[in-house]
Every structure is written in structure tokens, then in C-alpha cells.
Amino acid sequence: ADDKINKVIRKIETINLQLIKVSESLKIPKIQPYFGVTKWEPGKKVEEAYGEANFAKNRIKERKDVLYQIYSQADTERIVEEKQMEDNFYRDLNDNHFEIWYQPKYAPKTNKLVGAEGLVRWRRENNEIIPPSKFIPLFERNGMIKALDEYVFREVCTHQRRWLDEGKKIVPISINLSRASLYFESVVKRYHDIARRIGIYTHFVPIEITESAAVDNDEIKSIADKFHGNGFPLLVDDFGSGYSSLATLNMKCFDTLKIDKSLIDYIGDSNGERLLVHTIALAKELGICVTAEGVESQEQVEFLKNIDCDSIQGFYYSKPLPLTEYEMLLD
Ligand code: C2E
Ligand code: CA
Ligand code: CA
């Protein structure tokens, strides 16, 4: 079967070359063809095969860098799945089918709870829980993330308020803001007003922004000033997983660095450890707090404790917990 596909691809490339020659000899702009390819087996209807090839072709229509696309069943399934998620989103948001789970952050020096992060989960009709990796990228592409991030923020404020009313001692719970949520007018005022209406000081709901969402220096600086002006602490999420790490530190926009798991996994390797030691020292010298993410082992905890890391979030201490389990941790 691979042989046949290769033959088709060679044919497509030949056609493409001939088209280039034609446009050159006629002195007209380059003709840009694109092809959809699918397998045909005896018994498959022509219409069906045509539909598949057409579907494959349509996926590359907007692109200038690919000549052909081979149809795959998995692609259709994914697209059908994404369509369903889009169709169900607003209804499920209204019906509270999105849940916030809480992953605690601990100070390694005292082993005390010092904070948490709110992480969204989608509970489907059949009670199955969908992790954010399945839907956040889609909602970031189609803009629905704005509504979801705001919902999560509102829920976290509401829970924090309820625990206060019950006489519990709360700790700051950070929430995530995707790029699309970050760059809309009046985002800061909107979030501030929500917190005020619910009755929660903004320093109890810090904002996590990924390093890659913060690449536009000037813009991020002005947004950061607004968040700070309204009392929101700011965390750089996934620090060290991107490419702009030192520039991010230098912007002086952030209160806390969240060191990405990929850097934590260097512990045990001597060069990697030196990188961590110096990164954390530099951050602290600049007056920035440090949280380590994705910490799974005792060895990592010991290392981080010795270099004065302020807090640790990871499976070593706890996985993200559903609401009722998290609230049992509060005094
Ligand atoms: P993140 O913000 O980096 O969140 C940390 C993720 O690492 C969580 O996955 C958490 O379960 C996982 N994790 C924590 N400790 C460990 C560990 O020790 N080992 C390993 N292997 N993993 C660990 P989760 O909950 O699946 O979230 C994935 C991502 O989805 C988050 O990454 C965040 O970028 C995004 N996300 C979650 N909730 C929201 C939300 O409300 N809004 C937005 N915009 N994004 C969200
Ligand atoms: Ca985060
Ligand atoms: Ca992270």
C-alpha cells in the first residue's frame, strides 16, 4: 500500500513541476495546485472516496507550503469530536459541567500549605472527566477560552469566599489566563469587578500567564501594571519551557516564577542543576518568588529546599484534587 501511495505522490510532484513550467513559459503567476489523496478499496463507493479526498484537500487549502494531504480516519474522528465539543460548550458551561480542581502548593521548609492552582476539568454526560489538554487548545483557537477562563476565575473567587464565610483560613489560588483572555480590552477591570462583587481580595486570586503568552514586551508590561494596580499578583507559568526566559526575568513584571517540569527534571544532572541553582538565585536577587512545578521525587524536594525555592507544586505533595478533598486541607 505504501508503494502505491509513493507512486501517487511522485505523480503529484510531476504534475506540479509541469504546472511550474507552464506558468514560466506563459509568463503568468505561479499556479498553486493542491491535492487530496485517499485509498480506494473494492466496495468503497466513488462518492465516499471522493468525499475523503476532498476532505483531505480542504485541510491544506489555506496553506502555501504543502502540495497534498493524505486522508486519514483519525483526522475525521478528531474533527467530529472537536465539532461536538464546540456545540456543547456554552450549554455545559451554563450547566456547571466544568469543574475546578485544586493542586496544592507547599513550602518545602515547613511542609505547610501556602497556595494552590485552580485547574479546569470537563465532566461529560457519562461522568467521564476530560483533561484540559483535550479542549484548551481548541478553545484557544476558536476564542471560547475567554468565557472559560472567566468562569474558572469566578468559581475560584466564589469558593474562596465560601471558605472564608465558613471561618476557614484560605491561601491564594492562582488561575490561568490564556493569551486570548489576556489581550482583550478591560480584562483587568472585568476580573477586578468580579472579585469585588464576590467579595474576595484580588491578592487571593493570582494570575498565571505562560511565558509564551508574554512575548510582546511592551504590551505585557502595560497589562502587568494594570493587574498590579488592581492588586493581582502575577506568575510566569512554564518558565524555562520557552525561549525567552532571560528576557522575561528582565521585564520585572512578575512576582513569581513557576519553574517548568522540564527544568525540574534536570535535577540529578550536574549541568542542569547548576542552571537551576543560578536561575533561582537570579530570580531571588530580583525580588521574584520561585515555585517549582511537576516535582515528583524526594530527591527533587531536597534539592529545591536547599536552594531556597519558596514553594513546590507536584505529585510528590499532591495531585490536583476535587473541591471537597482540597477543602479538607484548609485549617
Ligand atoms: P499548567 O498550568 O502547567 O498546570 C500544571 C499541569 O501539570 C496540570 O495538568 C497538573 O495536573 C500537572 N502536574 C502537576 N504536578 C505534576 C507532576 O508532579 N508531574 C506531572 N507529570 N504533572 C504534574 P492539567 O491539570 O492537565 O492542566 C494542563 C494544562 O491545561 C495546564 O498546565 C494549563 O496550561 C491548562 N489549563 C488548565 N486549566 C486551565 C484554565 O482554567 N484556563 C486555561 N487557560 N488553561 C488551563
Ligand atoms: Ca498554570
Ligand atoms: Ca505550568
Residue whose Cα lies nearest atom 34 of ligand 1: it is 176
Backbone angles phi, psi at 261, to 5 degrees: -55, -35
Q: How is residue 85 written as a grid cell?
A: 465539543
Distance, in Å, from the CA atom of 130 to the CA atom of 221, rounded to the nearest integer, reads: 34
Q: How is residue 178 written as a grid cell?
A: 490564556
Average pLDDT, the chain: 93
pLDDT above 70 coverage of the chain, percent: 98
Best residue for ligand 1 mutational test, from 119, 134, 140, 211 (most atoms within 8 Å of Cβ) = 119
| pLDDT for the residue 218 | 76
In ligand 1, which atom is closest to the CA atom of 296?
18
Q: From the CA of 139, which ligand is nearest? A: 1
Distance, in Å, from the CA atom of 175 to the CA atom of 204, rounded to the nearest integer, reads: 10
Domain boundaries, given as residue ranges, for the chain: 2-71, 83-327
Distance, in Å, from the CA atom of 217 to the CA atom of 294, rounded to the nearest integer, reads: 27
Distance, in Å, from the CA atom of 133 to the CA atom of 20, rounded to the nearest integer, reads: 42
pLDDT over 70 (residue 254): yes
Q: From the CA of 319, which ligand is nearest? A: 1
Pocket around ligand 1 at a 6 A CB cut-off? 103, 119-120, 131-133, 136, 145, 149, 152, 176, 178, 237-238, 261, 294-296, 314-315, 320
Residues 196-204, mean pLDDT to the nearest whole number? 98
| pLDDT for the residue 1 | 67
pLDDT over 90 (residue 251): no
Best residue for ligand 1 mutational test, from 136, 241, 264, 317 (most atoms within 8 Å of Cβ) = 136
Residue 161, C-beta contacts closer than 8 angstroms, at least 6 positions apart:
198, 199, 200
Long-range contacts of 63-68, Cβ-Cβ distance < 8 Å, separation of 24 or more? 63/34, 64/32, 66/34, 67/12, 67/13, 67/16, 67/33, 67/34, 67/35, 68/9, 68/12, 68/34, 68/35, 68/36, 68/37
Read off the pLDDT of residues 40-96 as tens digits, 9 standing for 90 and up: 888 889 998 998 899 899 888 777 789 999 998 887 888 889 999 999 999 999 999
DSSP 288: -
Q: From the CA of 235, which ligand is nearest? A: 2
Looking at the domain that runs over 83-327, which CATH code has it been given? 3.20.20.450
In angstroms, the first-to-last Cα distance of the chain is: 64
pLDDT over 80 (residue 244): no
DSSP 315: T
pLDDT band for position 215 (cuts 50, 70, 90):
low
- State in Å: Cα 208 to ligand 2 middle: 6
In ligand 1, which atom is closest to the CA atom of 295?
18
Q: Which amino acid appears at position 114 of this protein?
A: V
Distance, in Å, from the CA atom of 79 to the CA atom of 206, rounded to the nearest integer, reads: 35
Read off the pLDDT of residues 112-146 as tens digits, 9 standing for 90 and up: 999 999 999 999 989 999 999 999 999 998 999 99
**Nearest one of 189, 204, 230 to 118, comparing CA atoms:** 204
Distance, in Å, from the CA atom of 62 to the CA atom of 47, rounded to the nearest integer, reads: 24
What DSSP element (H or E) covers 69?
strand 68-70
3-class state of residue 233 by DSSP: coil
**Nearest one of 162, 184, 160 to 174, comparing CA atoms:** 160
